[in-house]
Structure 1
Amino acid sequence: MTRTWVRELAGWMLALAVALVTTASVAASARGDLLFRDGDSLIVALLSRSILEGDRLDWAMSSVLFLPETAVFTVLEAALPITVDALFAVSAIVNLLALYGAFRLVAGRRREGSAPVAWSVAALGALGALAMTETSASRDALELASLPLTTTYYSATVVAVVASVGIARRIRDGSAHRAALLVGLGLVAAVSTLSNPLYAVWLTAPLVVILAILALRSRTRTRDLWLVAALLAGTVAGAGFRIPFSAWIANTGAGYAQPALWMESVEYYGRLLAERLQSPLGLVAAVAVIALLALGILRTARARDDASRLVAIASWALPLAVVIGAVALGTHAARYLQPAVFAPLLALVADTRALRAPERIGRRITAVSAVALLVGGALSVPRLATAAATTDPDLACVTSWVDASERTGAGQFWTVRLPKLHLDDPSRLVQVDHRLDGYAWLVNRADLDAREVTFLVQDSQSVAWELPVSAVPDAIVECGRWTILDFASTPLPLGPAHS
């Protein structure tokens, strides 16, 4: 028993080292913009702050509610007296640790001759290695392994999908706690669907089909049917639980499905793939993913039991289903394809047999690898701290001016998201469109109660203004990549809000 606890604790320590190395690498690259500064990536931090400060909550969300992500970030913010960028870094580490826990669930119980902890660490390490090949600042790049580090791009859904496969494996493996696991699967499906309907697309639909096919020939037919029932019940319940949140959902997501545009979708994703393959690191990552898919197919053919076969099938069937589905629905968003990167990692934990090697050599290799990983994790702490503490003089200029003015201004979505988060009072910056109509998207609608503003913040991403009244700014304040147009003597009225 002691050896089991030591082994599991060692696995979590190594997973923490992987998380530190990965997060530090991503944060120190141009990809760090998605972690700390991207307009989309700030929604969870803004919502968390609004909750902790007791604001009136009237949020306009997308089809994703980010409930688990917000809960985790709120707890971190309440518990840790650190800057918001440091919170983003800690959140990324927590996300990766949660993903390790999900991989460990998939890896199953330890048996004689197996090494589930080692294979779980290997799966997380492979994700980290893929994330470290991604260096673009673009949210639209086909660089998907780093997205679970963010608070916004579906980290909780990624963990839930992997964990669901793990629960299904445990049930197929004949666990004595089958009833509890079925309830757990239903709860995961319900909470995940409530927060993000993509769970139904990424996991429920393809896994139900897989289980239905396997049930035709499997010795675990009854278990498979119970699994299908739990998944469907949880997913349907989660969809129903979204009804009370309908006032918050500004876009149901139905408009994202445009099957008539499937050819444009093929061209879009094809272009992203071509751009990814132009870099050596992108090519290496693509080869690695293909190798993982091949391993999944191989392990499907050579599976020792029904439980490992399900995981092996999921490693290649989930990516295939998601890619085909994304194209068939005419989507145009790289983030929807995340299972194409994280699901193939399931092949590593489908079969957790220990690699054959002389015992003495195996122990030495394991020890050296573990020490190297722990040292790498420790050395990554200063690098990550530096990335999280990097000052932005342009941002400081804007926030200092707005805070000192004690007035309310406005700016367009991509322009004001970052300054808004870092203000003493985020409501001092109202989110508008180029006509000064309120833009209720990923923001607290309570901010839009302001009837007028006395300054505008713009940058290179801002669309040319079409002001509702003829006005000339009293002063123009240059703050690096931002410009503040001060209309102190001519307040500008705000128009009606829209999403």
Structure 2
Amino acid sequence: MQRTWVRELAGWMLALAVAVITVGAVASSARAELLFRDGDSLIVALLSRSLLDGGHQDWAMSSVLFLPETAVFTTLDALLPLDVDGLLALSGVLNMVALYGALRLVAGRRRAGAAPVGWAVAALCVVGVLAMTETSASRDALELASLPLTTTYYSATVIGTVLAVGIVRRMLDHGRPRPMLLAGLLVVTGVSTLSNPLFVAWAVVPIGVLLVVSAVRRRGAAPVARSTAGAALAALAAGTAIGFASRIPFSAWIANTGAGYAQPERWRESLVYYGGLLGDRLGSPLGVLAAAIIAALLGWAVVRSIRSHDAAARFVAGAAWLAPLLVVVGAIALGTHAARYLQPLAFAPVLALVAHPRVLRLAPNLRRQAIAAIAVVLVLGAGLSMPRAIAAASRPDADLACVTDWVEASGHTGAGQFWTVRLPKLHLADPSRLVQVDHRLNGYAWLVNRADLSAAEVSFLIEDAQTVQWQLPVSAIPDDVVDCGRYRILDFGDALLPLGPAHS
């Protein structure tokens, strides 16, 4: 019992080391733009800060509500004396550690000849390696493993998907329905669907298909008890229904249900789009390395799903290749154009490593020495990566400081477009001093508190390289143009600019 406790604790400590190494590497690359400054990536931080500040909450969200992410970030913000970038970096570390916990659940119980802790750490290491091969600043690149490090790009959905696979695996291990496991599956499915309906495509559909196939399988390995598969399917169905029903009270916050994203008639364009992203990814040595790792894992998953005689291991291996396949085919069939929808391509294949986590056939002394060496490397790597992560999270941004200082000193209210204004807005003492608008000065109610759009007019505009050419509703020439590096502030002084009606 004592050795088991020590082994589990060591697994968590090594997972923390892997998380710190990964975040340090990603945050030190151009990918830091996505972690700390991208307009999309700031929604959870904006929402959390608004909740802590109080006031009227009337948010215009996408189909994703980010409820688990917001709960964690708000708690961290309330308890820790860190600035926004520090909290974002810490969130990335915690997301990786939480993913380890989900992988550890998938790896199954300890038993003779199994090493679930070691293989769960190994799977997390592979995710970390994949994330560290991703170095672009683009949110649209086919660089998927690093996206869960953000608070925005579906980290809770990734973890929830792996948790669902793990819970079903434990049910199959037991061979009969367990009330606690069924309740856990119901809760994970319900909360995940409530927060992000994409969970249904990533988890519910692949798991459901595999359970149905396992329940009716007759030849080869012994079939799974139909009662277990039926109970798991019922929990998935009930959780999904509860999740969708629970979205009704949030309907005023959901500015886009996501139905408009599905355009099946554009499947050819989608195929070309994703093919182009793949070509771009394979255009660098790191991209080729990542693709080779994923291809090897998918191949191994197919082999394990065919050759394994253990129903639970066969299920996990099947999820490792079926989930990516269904998601890619579905994304193309629906005519989507967003790389983030394909994240199962990055995290699902590593499930092959924990499908059947057997102890390596090495001499006991050699195995212990190898484990000790790997642990030392990870701990040293974490020690060296910690300063990198801290430096990345505390790197001064003179241009941003120039904007926020000027706005604070002006005492006036201004405006800016989505990709430009969100970072300064987040870093102001009063975010409502910057209104999010479109290029025609109509309020743009998207991933923002609609209460901030109550201003009827503004006296200055903020722009940068991402700003679309302004089409002002009145003829106006700025009294002054303030140069703030990558930003410019167009100060109209007493010539107030009227704002148009808000839209999403």
Range of TM-score over shorter length: over 0.9
Which of 211, 226, 231 does residue 226 from structure 1 map onto?
Answer: 231
Structure 1 match to 2:119: 119
Letter in 2 for 1:87: L
Deviation at 1:176, TM superposition (A): 7.7
Partner of 1:372: 377
- Code of the aligned partner of 1:421: L
How many angstroms apart in 1 are the aligned matches of 2:204 and 2:290?
27
Q: Secondary structure at the match of 1:344?
A: coil
The code of the aligned residue for 1:331 comes to T
Deviation by residue 1:50-78 (Cα, 9 ceiling, x = unmatched): 00001210000000000000000000101
CA contact (8 A) 2:26 2:131 kept: yes
> Which one is further off, 262-271 or 460-469?
460-469
1:412 and 1:142 mapped to 2: Cα distance? 26
1:355 shift after superposition: 0.6
The answer to whether the Cα contact below 8 Å between 1:93 and 1:149 also exists between their aligned partners in 2 is yes
- Other-structure match for 2:439: 434
The residue type paired with residue 214 of structure 2 is L
Q: Is the 8 A contact 2:177 2:231 kept in 1?
A: no
Q: In the alignment, does 2:308 pair up with 1:303?
A: yes
Q: Distance in 2 between matches of 1:371 and 1:199?
A: 37
| One-letter identity of the residue aligned with 2:137 | A
- Aligned mates of 2:101, 2:384 — CA distance in 1: 24
Alignment deviations for residues 274-319 of structure 1 (CA, whole Å, 9 cap, x no partner): 0000000000000000000011011112213111110010000000
Q: Of 345, 348, 355, which residue of structure 2 is paired with 1:350?
A: 355
Residue 470 of structure 2 aligns with an amino acid whose one-letter code is W
1:177-192 alignment to 2 at 5 Å? 178-192=178-192
The answer to whether the aligner puts 1:489 opposite 2:494 as a matched pair is: yes
Aligned 8 A contact 1:276 1:282 in 2: yes
Aligned equivalents of 1:175, 1:181: Cα separation in 2: 12
Cα deviation 1:241-270 (Å, max 9, x = unaligned): 101100000000000000000000000000
Matched, 1:93 2:87: no
1:401 pairs with one of 400, 406, 430: 406
On the 8 A contact 2:114/2:359 being kept in 1, the answer is: yes
User: Which of 405, 420, 423 is matched with 1:415 structurally?
Assistant: 420
Contact 2:464 2:487 in 1 (8 A): yes
Confirm or deny: 8 A CA contact 2:21 2:385 kept in the other structure: yes
Aligned-partner Cα distance in 2 for 1:256–1:93: 31
C-alpha displacement of 1:470: 1.2
| SS of residue in 1 equivalent to 2:489 | strand
Aligned residue among 385, 395, 406 for 1:390: 395
Task: State whether residues 176 and 225 of structure 2, in contact with CA within 8 Å, keep that contact through their aligned partners in structure 1.
Answer: no
1:247 counterpart residue number: 252
Match of 1:56 in 2: 56
Partners of 1:177 and 1:89 lie apart in 2 by 39
Partner of 1:291: 296
**Aligned pairs, how many?**
499
Q: What is the match of residue 207 of structure 1? A: 207
Q: CA RMSD in A?
A: 0.9
Greater alpha carbon shift after TM alignment, 344-353 vs 208-217: 208-217
* Deviation string, structure 1 residues 10-55 (Cα, Å, up to 9, x no partner): 0000000000000000000000110000000000000000000012
Native 8 Å contact 1:257 1:329 kept in 2: yes
Asked if structure 2 preserves the Cα contact closer than 8 Å seen for 1:220 and 1:306, the reply is: no
Offset at residue 219 of structure 1 (A): 3.2
- Comparing 460-469 with 44-53, greater Cα deviation is found at 460-469
Q: Is the 8 A contact 1:258 1:331 kept in 2?
A: yes
* 1:443 matched to 2:448: yes
Post-superposition shift, 1:175? 6.8
Flag as ranges the 4+ runs of structure 1 deviating above 3 A. Answer: none
Confirm or deny: 8 A CA contact 1:265 1:331 kept in the other structure: yes
Equivalent position amino acid for 1:103 in 2:
L
Residues 1:67 and 2:77 aligned together: no
Residue identity (%)? 65
Aligned ranges for residues 151-166 of structure 1 at < 5 Å? Answer: 151-166=151-166
Q: Give the secondary-structure state (helix, strand or coil) at the position aligned to 2:490.
A: strand
- TM superposition shift of 1:177: 7.5
CA change 1:215–1:175 in 2 (3 A) is: closer
Asked whether the 8 Å contact 2:215–2:229 carries over to 1, the reply is yes
CA deviations on 1:413-444 (whole Å, 9 max, x unpaired) are: 00101111111111110000011000000000
Post-superposition offset of 1:144: 0.1
Name the counterpart of 2:470.
465
Q: What is the TM-score when the length of structure 2 is the normalising length?
A: 0.98
State the distance in 2 between where 1:105 and 1:385 align: 30
Closer, same or farther: CA 71–175 of 1 in aligned 2, 3 Å: farther
For residues 176 and 360 of structure 1, the distance between their equivalents in structure 2, rounded to whole angstroms, comes to: 38
Residue 207 of structure 1 and its aligned partner are, at CA, apart by 1.4
Whole-angstrom distance in 2 between the partners of 1:304 and 1:22: 35
User: What is the alpha-carbon distance in structure 1 between the residues aligned to residue 52 and residue 126 of structure 2?
Assistant: 36
Report the Cα distance in structure 1 between the residues aligned to 2:374 and 2:243, rounded to whole angstroms: 42
Which residue type is aligned with residue 241 of structure 1?
S
CA–CA separation in structure 1 for the residues paired with 2:309 and 2:25? 38
CA distance in 2: counterparts of 1:363 and 1:460, whole angstroms: 55
The 8 Å contact of residues 108 and 170 in structure 1, kept in 2 or not, is answered as yes
Select which of 460, 471, 474 maps to 1:455.
Answer: 460
User: In structure 1, what residue type is equivalent to 2:36?
Assistant: F
8 A Cα contact 1:420 1:429, kept in partner: yes
In the alignment, is residue 36 of structure 1 matched against residue 36 of structure 2? yes
AA partner of residue 421 (structure 2): V
SS in 1 for 2:502: strand
**2: CA distance, partners of 1:177 / 1:354:** 28
CA distance in structure 1 between the aligned counterparts of 2:374 and 2:75, rounded to whole angstroms = 34
Using the TM superposition, give the Cα deviation of residue 488 of structure 1 relative to its aligned residue in structure 2, in angstroms.
Answer: 1.5
Decide which of 244, 260, 274 is 1:269's aligned counterpart: 274
Does the residue aligned with 1:478 lie in a helix, a strand or coil? strand
**Alpha-carbon separation, structure 2, partners of 1:225 and 1:205:** 14
TM superposition shift of 1:463: 0.9
The letter for the 1-side match of 2:60 is A
Conserved? CA contact 1:432–1:439, under 8 Å: yes
- In structure 2, the residue corresponding to 1:173 is in which secondary structure? helix
Residue pair 1:148, 1:155 contacting (<8 A) in 2 also: yes
The one-letter amino acid paired with 1:321 is: L
Aligned residue for 1:456, secondary structure, equals strand
Question: For 2:115 and 2:455, how far apart are their aligned partners in 1?
Answer: 60
